[in-house]
Structure 1
């Protein structure tokens, strides 16, 4: 990973961090080693957690991340981003919240995602997308 100021995880990024996926663990460790922020949207947790999630591990992982809430202003901005990208519906709602979060972080920003196509439509070239 190059020198980035912020590393953002989407739901798949968080899921892989919870599952000890080596490439994601390495990227998060490198970001922390360089003093960079590792950030998630509060909505990301919803997409990453399931009935088999180890709750103690989840709490431990989350304690090391900056979790950003989604308030009215952020929701309105994310909605406008969806319209601008020609997307709509619940399928894209969390992606839009993650994109909105990524776009307002200290640049440069890397976003770990499993959804390169949709997030590219939302973020354009302002965020470096890395497939996980």
Structure 2
């Protein structure tokens, strides 16, 4: 009954009578809030760990994001794994701009977060 209550709280009524009334926008908003689609942007060794996180051992399916998207137009989360160089920053921005709203970015690993041991003039 918890999922039904969530739907009713989001402005969609009639579910307790086995039919659904409401706006398509409300249904899309509700469904997007319950699932996340990640686009991978692997630049270094952390990308290998990101691929491993999609396996059955770590079970990302319990969070609703077991499938990584190859297209940024299908994703709402971008996982940046690895160091971002000056030449790669415009490409990263272009991929980010192609994502649909709302969108989030996760920085995975010390290299993506602060440059790590590669922190020099060429790393953003």
TM-score, normalised via structure 1 length: 0.32
Which structure is larger by alpha-carbon Rg, 1 or 2? 2
Between 1 and 2, higher relative CO (CA 8 Å, sep ≥ 6) is seen in 1
TM-score, normalised via structure 2 length: 0.34
